[in-house]
């Protein structure tokens, strides 16, 4: 069981290269199943969620070849199994994309109910609604979701809640269905557009991704394609917050500044200086940081996946900040850990009130989910003294070489293996 040990108080200075987007890659890799020929996927982040995706593809019979640390050639024509068992699916939320992709190609899928970060209730009713609408029979037995269809036909689908996963799964299921599918009230995140672009590169006919309505005219075949995953807006935002929290000067490279707009605006509002370039942003600080209020919302609103990192930064800002979580029921579990570092945060349901404390103190803490772990890293980098962060496997699910990238910016952070911790965990 690994942990990060951070000696805080060093300004981050230099350049950091952002990796491919986790939440795009974990949909695009399963989407390769829909092709009738091999695909090459580039700018794939080196994170454990991606490793799990690739392992699932391999276990199903796809031929997966690593061309470089960030690009893979995947031949889906050799797939012989349509099942993702519990052992693989429980580790990752995105295992649900195998449902849509397998259904879309083979008209059958059997995938264990997905795992993922503990953020409260995470139903998949809207995914199942979309699958049923295009003609699938859906049952859940013994923790497995079973889908089968004689044929898939286009339909009108209205999503009752704006859901990233259900939007992507509806696209995967409908792309090879007969006729026109119209999906309304869809999510508009950059990774939705990225998946649609990838499918269109393979010959799909998808219009409207990035707006409220997506129209898909089904095609009978999808050819192979070479496609590069978009940069990770949340990894970029995390480094932007880390630069600001340490009073640093960091050029965050390989980003699409448009995807960062809501994060950039919020940072500028609290006094961080953000300069935009074509594919980079430079973050500096030239005065005290001040309070703000944030409400997380689906894109183009402020992303829930940046909420904990902003909270860590706001602990260091002057005044009282208020954060309302608009997507997940339980996304403040990190508050208790930040309090151990001297933060003044009170949480009432989906609202957190943060009184700025000026400085934080290092302490032993635990990452309770992926973005909570990122928030603790930011807090640790800014804090006085040593912070030890346990359960960093959460962080490694979504950040590629986090400690290496921070070390290159001058941070004093090391990853340490603590054998005793895994024994403790196994006994717990």
Catalytic annotation, residues:
117
Report the nearest approach of ligand EPU to the CB of residue 103 (Å): 15
Q: Does 307 bind ligand EPU (CB under 6 A)?
A: no
What does the alpha-carbon distance between residue 336 and residue 346 come to, in Å, rounded to a whole number? 9
Report the nearest approach of ligand EPU to the CB of residue 166 (Å): 5
Any idea which residue has 């001040």 for tokens?
A: 290
Buried b (16+ CB within 10 A) or exposed e, 242-260: bbbbbbbbbbbbbbbbebb
Give the H or E element holding residue 191.
Answer: helix 190-201
Nearer to ligand EPU, 85 or 301 (CB): 301
Which of 70, 59, 62, 67 is closest to 35 using CA atoms?
A: 62
- Helices 97-106 and 164-174 cross at an angle (nearest 10°) of 10
Nearer to ligand EPU, 52 or 175 (CB): 52
Given CA atoms 425, 91, 78, 75 in this order, what sign does their dihedral have?
A: negative
Pick one of 19, 23, 264, 400: the residue that binds ligand EPU (CB under 6 A): 23
Nearer to ligand EPU, 123 or 288 (CB): 123
Q: Does 374 bind ligand EPU (CB under 6 A)?
A: no
What does the alpha-carbon distance between residue 146 and residue 276 come to, in Å, rounded to a whole number? 47
Q: Does 127 bind ligand EPU (CB under 6 A)?
A: yes
* Binding-site string for ligand EPU from residue 79 to residue 108, where x marks contact by CB under 6 A and - marks none: --------------xx--------------
Give the H or E element holding residue 274.
Answer: strand 272-276
- Number of chain residues interacting with ligand EPU (CB under 6 A): 25
- Judged by CB under 6 A, the chain residues 243 through 262 that form the site for ligand EPU are none
Nearer to ligand EPU, 166 or 363 (CB): 166
- Judged by CB under 6 A, the chain residues 190 through 249 that form the site for ligand EPU are none
Buried b (16+ CB within 10 A) or exposed e, 54-77: bebbeebebebeeeeebbbbbbbe
Stretch of 159-167, 282-290, 313-321, 352-360 lying at the interface with ligand EPU (CB under 6 A): 159-167
* Binding-site string for ligand EPU from residue 318 to residue 357, where x marks contact by CB under 6 A and - marks none: ---------xx-----------------------------
Contact by Cβ (8 Å): 46, 56: no
Contact by Cβ (8 Å): 264, 274: yes
Helices (H) and strands (E) in the chain, counts: 15, 24
Neighbours of 40 (CB within 10 A): 16
Q: Does 122 bind ligand EPU (CB under 6 A)?
A: yes
What does the alpha-carbon distance between residue 428 and residue 418 come to, in Å, rounded to a whole number? 16
Q: Is the peptide bond between 300 and the residue preceding it cis, with omega within 30 degrees of 0?
A: yes
What does the alpha-carbon distance between residue 277 and residue 268 come to, in Å, rounded to a whole number? 16
Phi and psi at 119, nearest 5°, equal -115, 15
Stretch of 123-131, 134-142, 240-248, 282-290 lying at the interface with ligand EPU (CB under 6 A): 123-131
Report the nearest approach of ligand EPU to the CB of residue 168 (Å): 7
Write down the H helix ranges in 107-189: 125-133, 164-174
Nearer to ligand EPU, 199 or 219 (CB): 199
Stretch of 3-11, 116-124, 235-243, 255-263 lying at the interface with ligand EPU (CB under 6 A): 116-124
Stretch of 74-82, 121-129, 332-340, 404-412 lying at the interface with ligand EPU (CB under 6 A): 121-129
Pick one of 67, 161, 213, 414: the residue that binds ligand EPU (CB under 6 A): 161
Pick one of 173, 370, 372, 406: the residue that binds ligand EPU (CB under 6 A): 370
DSSP state letters, 210-246? TBSEEEEE--S-----EEEPPB-HHHHHHHHHHHHHT
Report the nearest approach of ligand EPU to the CB of residue 203 (Å): 24
Nearer to ligand EPU, 137 or 223 (CB): 137
Residue sitting closest to ligand EPU (CB): 165
Report the nearest approach of ligand EPU to the CB of residue 356 (Å): 25
Residues in the site for ligand EPU, rule: CB under 6 A?
A: 23, 26, 93-94, 117, 121-127, 161, 163-166, 187, 304-305, 327-328, 370-371, 398
């Amino acid at each position: 069981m690994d942990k990060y040990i951070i000696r805080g108080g060093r300004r981050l200075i230099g350049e950091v290269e952002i990796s491919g987007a986790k939440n795009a890659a974990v949909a695009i890799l399963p989407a390769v199943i829909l092709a009738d020929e091999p695909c090459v996927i580039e700018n794939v982040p080196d994170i454990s969620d991606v490793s799990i995706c690739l392992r699932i593809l391999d276990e199903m019979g796809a031929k997966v070849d690593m061309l470089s640390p960030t690009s893979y050639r995947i031949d889906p024509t050799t797939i012989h199994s349509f099942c993702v068992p519990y052992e693989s699916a429980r580790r990752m939320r995105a295992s649900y994309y195998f449902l849509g992709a397998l259904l879309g190609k083979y008209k059958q899928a059997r995938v264990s109910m997905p795992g993922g970060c503990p953020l409260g209730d995470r139903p998949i009713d809207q995914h199942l609604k979309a699958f049923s609408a295009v003609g699938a029979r859906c049952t859940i037995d013994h923790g497995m979701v079973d889908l089968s269809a004689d044929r898939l036909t286009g339909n009108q689908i209205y999503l009752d809640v704006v859901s990233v996963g259900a939007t992507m799964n509806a696209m995967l299921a409908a792309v090879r269905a007969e006729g026109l599918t119209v999906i309304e009230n869809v999510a508009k995140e950059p990774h939705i557009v990225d998946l649609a672009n990838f499918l269109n590169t393979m010959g799909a006919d998808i219009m409207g991704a990035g707006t409220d309505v997506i129209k898909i005219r089904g095609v009978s075949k999808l050819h192979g394609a070479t496609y590069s995953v978009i940069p990770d807006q949340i990894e970029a935002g995390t480094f932007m917050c880390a630069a600001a929290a340490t009073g640093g000067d960091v050029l965050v490279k390989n980003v699409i500044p448009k995807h960062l707009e809501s994060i950039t605006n919020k940072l500028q509002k609290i006094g961080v200086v953000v300069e935009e370039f074509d594919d980079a942003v430079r973050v500096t600080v030239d005065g005290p940081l001040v309070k703000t209020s944030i409400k997380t919302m689906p894109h183009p609103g402020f992303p829930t996946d940046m909420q904990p990192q902003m909270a860590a930064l706001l602990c260091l800002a002057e005044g009282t900040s208020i954060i309302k979580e608009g997507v997940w029921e339980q996304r403040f579990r990190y508050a208790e850990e930040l309090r151990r570092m001297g933060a003044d945060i009170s949480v009432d349901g989906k609202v957190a009130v943060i009184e700025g404390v000026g400085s934080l103190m290092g302490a032993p803490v635990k990452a309770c989910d992926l973005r909570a772990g990122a928030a603790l890293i930011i807090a640790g980098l800014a804090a006085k003294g040593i912070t030890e962060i346990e359960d960093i496997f959460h962080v490694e699910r979504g950040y590629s070489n986090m400690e290496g990238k921070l070390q290159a910016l001058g941070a004093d952070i090391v990853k340490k293996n603590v054998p005793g911790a895994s024994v403790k965990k196994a006994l717990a």
